[in-house]
Structure 1
Amino acid sequence: MKLKLRLVSAAAPAAAQQLAPSAPVPTQPRRRLQLPRCATEQRPPPFLAATRYDWLRLAAAHRGKVTQLAVMLSCLAAEQGSSTVRPTRAALRRFAVSRDAAYDALRKLEAAGLVYVWRLPGRVPKVSLVEPGTDQALRLS
């Protein structure tokens, strides 16, 4: 590796001082940076207050995308204020669940007694969240 050295004359610093402007250069006033609010100042999303963690815990006992689908269904139910929801493609995409994985997970949740599913050909299934071990609609509190 070769090192390149540059020779500097003794007059170079004096020449640099002569070229420097004597008056300060005008600058634009600095804008104040707008920072996002602190996370402690913001209120939690409304669906967190209506989430049934006992229901989610039972759903999380299954393998695969069942947990993600259960979280999605719980969020949709809380946002809509109803225990009956339709898992649309947009909602599935938002929670990173494919259609095939969603249908498999719905079958598992239905077998576990956590949801009732109404299926019609060519339609999005209608899913009703139920209280664990009963056939009553899930109470969102």
Structure 2
Amino acid sequence: MPAKLQVEKYRLALARLVTRGGPINLDSVAREAGSGAGSIKRSRKDYADLIKEIDAASVEPVNFEDAGRTEPSQDLKKEVKRLSALLDESLERELNLLEEVYTLREENRELRVGRPLIVVPPSARSTLPSFGQPS
């Protein structure tokens, strides 16, 4: 593809990245244009003006209010708060379940104390009488 057409393709990709608010660097512009990450090289003379435009766009602060979006840190803070609440709910649920397991084990122990459990070793089982089964 001729260099002029390629540069125009990269300029359109740069414009899309600027309006979308994504990270702007040589690799991101190249990928947005459908080329490989390292296809825009500073050593190529035909790309000098394009590289200046990309460099200028990469240092411009993004005004999120103009773009109609909230600041990323606010979104992240909301997500952290939401996930923290979910974690707290999960931990509370786990504690309740552990308490229930403890209570059931205690109840089970109490029942076993009331009725002693007789454990018959396998070697002694053959000497026990069989009820209802022919010998």
Higher helix fraction (1 or 2): 2
TM-score normalised by structure 1 residue count = 0.28
TM-score normalised by structure 2 residue count = 0.29
Q: Which has the larger radius of gyration?
A: 2
Higher strand fraction (1 or 2): 1
